[in-house]
């Protein structure tokens, strides 16, 4: 059994998780395109599905209408201020993100398809650079993060579906189903953001691996003793490799910037909503635990909301840190000083990396990095301490 587990390819498992997540997004109507093989060369490409897109848009519009007609009046009648605030923010975030999904699917459909095809083309180019054949997605870090995200998705679906049990009538069942469809679809934005930034990190990691090993080995092969010139054919091969590596780096930065521009507003809304929901849910679980029959389930929601924020931040950090890795490979590590045109080309490339540095700044408000995790952790610990002290002083604990 252990020997079989050792033979399992983690990148292949990561690709399987992405495959399941892709179909999960199609069921929720967030992903309305097909990913299939092109008949000419069997490469993965994205195809548009107009009929399925309009079906998804119709379902989302029906859900928005049902939530506004049936769920919003119920939320307005809630007397508890904390519960009212939580439900208002949840509905507002779901409606805003649902509207963003509709706008992206209608107005930015072609740009979205071009961006996804660019991602797939980049993976093919990176695999063609290296002589080592790789199958799947990413490595160990990507698999670990994807596995945690998959667990969060399963728990999220379980908690939402449990709301459909023991409803009094068909109207309550329909309105709750529309609310679940709209909310889970809106939460898919933060999951798509996680996968997108993790894809950028995986691309940078593979190109960095190629530059550290194969490209460096090819450049060192140009080192010859005096009187032994390098052949023109070998120079052309190495020059092609250098140009292709630089071109791939530039395209990764461009595609990553396009992805960030398309999703920065809905990702920011969901991210703030997750942070706010974590604080409210933690207060509810600590102070008014007697109102909830399943304390473990409520704490699971708190941990799940916390994990969504952490995983998105970690994916962004992986992408940013991997993009900065190339600058650490200084010119002294590559024997190109005898070829002046390569030296100038490499200096221009490194200058371009410094100028067009890949960063994630939602609407320019703040930079998503590991500092966000530390800030979030410290804030939550301080908040938990305050809530516990408040509960002790008011004899609620």
Beta carbons of 337 and 343 less than 8 angstroms apart:
yes
Q: Provide the residue ranges of all domains of the chain, joining segments of one domain with +.
A: 110-127+134-394
Higher pLDDT, 261 or 390: 261
Which H or E element spans position 367? none
Q: Is the pLDDT of residue 90 over 80?
A: no
Residues in the chain: 397
What is the pLDDT, as a whole number, of residue 240? 78
Tokens of 53: 């897109």
Q: Is the pLDDT of residue 119 over 50?
A: yes
Write out pLDDT tens, residues 14-66: 889 988 888 888 888 888 888 887 777 777 788 888 888 888 888 888 888 88
What is the pLDDT, as a whole number, of residue 295? 64
Write out pLDDT tens, residues 349-367: 667 666 666 777 777 777 7
- Which alpha helices (DSSP H) does the chain contain, by range? 2-7, 10-27, 50-66, 72-76, 81-107, 109-129, 140-161, 170-210, 216-220, 232-287, 295-328, 340-355, 370-393
Rounded Cα–Cα distance for residues 227 and 236 (Å): 20
Q: Work out the pLDDT band at 7, boundaries 50, 70, 90.
A: low
Sign of CA dihedral 190, 312, 321, 319: negative
Q: Is the pLDDT of residue 1 over 50?
A: no
What is the pLDDT, as a whole number, of residue 5? 47
What is the pLDDT, as a whole number, of residue 332? 45
Q: What angle do CA 360, 140, 251 make, to 5 degrees?
A: 40
What is the pLDDT, as a whole number, of residue 215? 74
Q: Is the pLDDT of residue 115 over 80?
A: yes
Sign of CA dihedral 204, 210, 212, 218: negative
In a 3-state reduction of DSSP, which class is residue 168?
A: coil
Higher pLDDT, 284 or 126: 126
Sign of CA dihedral 109, 115, 117, 120: negative
DSSP state of 75: H
CA distance readout (Å), 213 to 2, 17, 245, 280: 31, 29, 13, 49
Q: Is the pLDDT of residue 175 over 70?
A: yes
Report, as an integer, the average pLDDT of 258-267: 83
Rounded Cα–Cα distance for residues 319 and 91 (Å): 31
What is the pLDDT, as a whole number, of residue 239? 74
Range among 2-11, 105-114, 241-250, 328-337 with highest mean pLDDT value:
105-114
Report, as an integer, the average pLDDT of 302-325: 83
Beta carbons of 212 and 333 less than 8 angstroms apart:
no
- Average pLDDT of the chain to the nearest whole number: 78
Range among 49-58, 126-135, 229-238 with highest mean pLDDT value:
49-58
Report, as an integer, the average pLDDT of 117-121: 87
Higher pLDDT, 149 or 160: 149
Rounded Cα–Cα distance for residues 157 and 162 (Å): 9
């Amino acid at each position: 059994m252990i020997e079989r587990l050792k033979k399992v390819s983690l990148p292949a498992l990561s690709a399987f998780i992405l495959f399941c997540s892709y179909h999960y997004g199609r069921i929720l109507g967030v992903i309305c395109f097909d990913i299939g093989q092109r008949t000419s060369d069997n490469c993965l490409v994205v195809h548009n599905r107009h009929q399925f897109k309009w079906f998804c848009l119709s379902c989302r519009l029906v859900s928005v209408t049902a939530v506004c007609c049936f769920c919003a009046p119920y939320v307005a009648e809630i007397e508890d201020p904390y519960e009212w605030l939580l439900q208002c923010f949840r509905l507002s975030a779901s409606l805003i993100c649902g509207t963003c999904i509709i706008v992206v699917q209608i107005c930015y459909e072609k740009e979205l398809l071009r961006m996804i095809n660019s991602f797939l083309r980049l993976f093919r180019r990176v695999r063609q650079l290296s002589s080592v054949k790789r199958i799947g997605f990413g490595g160990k870090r990507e698999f670990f993060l994807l596995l945690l995200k998959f667990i969060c998705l399963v728990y999220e679906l379980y908690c939402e579906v449990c709301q459909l049990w023991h409803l009094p009538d068909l109207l309550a069942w329909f309105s709750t189903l529309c609310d679940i469809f709209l909310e889970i679809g809106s939460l898919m934005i933060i999951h798509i953001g996680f996968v997108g930034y993790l894809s950028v990190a995986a691309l940078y990691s593979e190109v960095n691996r190629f530059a550290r090993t194969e490209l460096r080995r090819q450049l060192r092969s140009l080192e010859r003793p005096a009187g032994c010139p390098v052949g023109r054919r070998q120079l052309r091969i190495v020059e092609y490799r250098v140009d292709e590596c630089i071109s791939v780096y530039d395209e990764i930065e461009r595609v990553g910037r396009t992805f960030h521009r398309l999703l920065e507003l809905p990702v920011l809304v969901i991210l703030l909503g997750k942070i706010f929901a974590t604080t409210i849910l933690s207060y509810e679980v600590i102070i008014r635990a007697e109102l909830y029959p399943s304390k473990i389930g409520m704490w699971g929601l708190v941990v799940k909301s916390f994990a969504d924020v952490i995983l998105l931040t970690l994916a962004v950090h992986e992408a940013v840190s991997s993009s900065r890795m190339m600058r650490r490979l200084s010119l002294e590590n590559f024997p190109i000083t005898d070829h002046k045109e390569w030296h100038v080309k490499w200096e221009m490339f490194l200058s371009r990396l410094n100028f067009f540095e890949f960063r994630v700044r939602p609407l320019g408000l703040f930079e998503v990095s590991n500092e966000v995790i530390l800030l979030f952790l410290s804030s939550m610990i301080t908040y938990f301490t305050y809530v516990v002290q408040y509960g002790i002083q008011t004899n609620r604990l």
